[in-house]
Amino acid sequence: MNRRQFLYGSAAMALMSAMPFHAHASEGPIVKTPKGSVRGLTLDGVHVFRGVPCGMPPYQGKHCLALPEPVAPWNGVIDAVTFGDIPLQPDGKGKPLGGGDCLRLNIWTPAPGKTTCPVMVYIPGGGSTRCDNNDVRYDGSAFARDGVVLVTINYRVNVHGFLKINGTPSNIALRDMLFALRWVQDNIAAFGGDPDNVTVFGQSAGATHITSLISSDASKGLFRRAVLQSPSALSQYNAELASKVSASLLDFYGVKNSREAVAALSPEKLLTFTSFIAEKNKDPKWCRMLGGNISIFKPYVDGDILLKRPVDAIAEGAARGLEIMVGSAEQEWRLYTVPSWAIDRIGEKELKGFVDATGFPADIVDRYRKAGRGDTPGDLFSALQSDFIFRMPANKVLESQAKAGGKVWAYSFAWKSDAVNGKMGAAHSLDVPFVFKTHRKDSPRVKNTLGSNPPDSLAETMHSAWVRFASTGNPGWTPFDTGRRMTMRFDTESKEVSDPWKTERENMPMK
């Protein structure tokens, strides 16, 4: 037994002492993959494999800022009972978190090797700055109980995943995702999944990057369906803008634009990009250059993975052969303004800054006010940002796929949380625990956003729709078209409605 296996085993025993049914790794299910065998756990009838080796540690030696490479084969059986590392990212205080052996997968399955279940692969969000496939909200047990093999993946984020750096592969984050999806094709049958029936889904940045994947020839044959939950689907650079952003950040670091220089940055130095962003966001010229979407880490058109802006490729038929479901929450940006009480401090200055950065007509604020989208500056700012960053880009994907003659369904998440003194509303990411049926998890992230009594009925409705879509290619309501624009509106009483984003579409057209 090598040192890593010893550590895995020691950690597993510590973990198992707290597990129900006195399960031990030595008693768990074993799956043989092409690289070697892994042993998981059986918990409440679900077979769970955590931290399954997929790619080599991507922050070490020749693997740093390079294409992902498969792990080397191993002998014997390794325990897949503890979660793996997460990609290098800042914690809540900007300090380094993760950065180790992070290209690992978590898998929940009804019966390893004995069935051909639909497969769902979840790509986490995190603003392209963070990523954690071990998040308690992404527990796939409910999917496995309903006959779906659920996989969660990681990918490199921030500088290592998205920055345009000389001497490195383009769009490393997207390449990590494609790499994981190829692993699923090669390995998932051993876990009971059908490689010909894969649905890729994600929320926020995860959905944003799925927009890129479904538009790319590089993803052909890796999945047949996609669910995009709150995609910032217009959040990509052209090559020129990617170069400008990269040059500015590397100048801030004081290093040359080269693989060697960036790879030599310590994690502490590399993560000072948070200070760079905070300072740049005060500069109106910088914000206008980014078109108002001031997240600096984005995929870019590279002539390889992305040949053009994803929504344009989709409109031309790039995803015509896929079944797609797209939606957003009705009050997305309140996640960013309510918990900090910033919503009460936002004034006319912030509204003017939004108009200046985005280039929208000056009267758009008054139009939103007259349309009932808010009374206070904080409410109006939150509504404008919700639509600009998430809702209208999601609508753009729907329109693009419909224009190309592809199959697409729309949804809108309308349930309003009573968290933060009833102010949270139907905010960004609140749909995720309902989709996974993790809305009752004893987790601060869940409790602080979903409030006092998240409805079980909503979780059942949403989760069932996702399972149905992965199994049959139809979530259970009328497909979207640009005439009636039928949309499932998820709430305590969910129902189909026609064109729920009419006001937003008319007041905030997106090119």
Catalytic status, residue 232:
no
Burial of 359 (0-12, 13-18, 19+ CB in 10 A): exposed
Q: How crowded is residue 312: how many other Cβ atoms within 10 Å of its Cβ? A: 14
Catalytic status, residue 275:
no
Kindly name the residue from 170, 204, 246, 417 that is annotated as catalytic: 204
Kindly name the residue from 160, 428, 439, 463 that is annotated as catalytic: 428
Kindly name the residue from 332, 400, 417, 439 that is annotated as catalytic: 332
Question: In this structure, is the dihedral angle defined by the CA atoms of residues 58, 64, 67 and 71, taken in order, positive or negative?
Answer: negative
Catalytic status, residue 204:
yes
Write out the two tokens for 117: 């279940």
For residue 411, the SS3 value is strand
Conformation bin of residue 36: beta by default, left when phi > 0, alpha when psi is -120 to 50: left
Which residues face 53 on adjacent strands? 104
Tell which residue, 87, 89, 93, has the closest CA to residue 59. 87
- Give me Rg for the CA atoms of the chain: 22
Burial of 92 (0-12, 13-18, 19+ CB in 10 A): exposed
In this structure, the strands spanning 104-109 and 77-79 are unpaired
User: What is the residue-wise DSSP string for 168-204?
Assistant: S-S-HHHHHHHHHHHHHHHHGGGGTEEEEEEEEEEET
User: What is the residue-wise DSSP string for 446-464?
Assistant: HHHHH-S---HHHHHHHHH
| Main-chain dihedrals φ then ψ at residue 47, nearest 5 degrees | -90, 125
Question: In this structure, is the dihedral angle defined by the CA atoms of residues 106, 110, 114 and 118, taken in order, positive or negative?
Answer: negative
Active site residues: 204, 332, 428
